[in-house]
Amino acid sequence: MISREEIDAVLAAHAAWKARFHDFLVGRSGVDVTVLGTTDHCAFGNWLDNYGAKHLKKEQYEEIDALHADFHRTAAEVAARLKARDYAGAHALIAPGGKLEQASNALAARLLIVKNAL
């Protein structure tokens, strides 16, 4: 059974990943850009694949998994645009209200729905 505290913990893990990604974007740290688009190289993805898959309803898991994948695809797109020196394109993705924030917010909102139903 999933607890409200567990949802809070995975939301915190997602926030920590976003903070590390921000540090990468501003040059404070590096990230392995080859795995940015994958969902199994972060704490949230590991939780989702190992625990969430067993304890969430099938529809919940599938929707959260898709939202999580969309978030990571967008992060990988940001890195790809930076590598291609498409700074305007990368900025549009990470700007407030941009695709990365939208993907993150959609994921968090869906998790909060699960949490509030507990």
pLDDT tens-digit series, residues 72-112: 999 999 999 999 999 999 999 999 999 999 999 999 999 99
- Residue ranges of domains in the chain: 4-117
The pLDDT mean for the chain works out to 96
Is residue 49 scored above 90 in pLDDT? yes
4-117 is classed CATH 1.20.120.30: yes
Give the largest Cα separation in the chain, rounded.
46
pTM: 0.94
Is residue 116 scored above 90 in pLDDT? yes
Is residue 1 scored above 90 in pLDDT? no
Tell me the pLDDT band of 22, cut-offs 50, 70 and 90.
very high
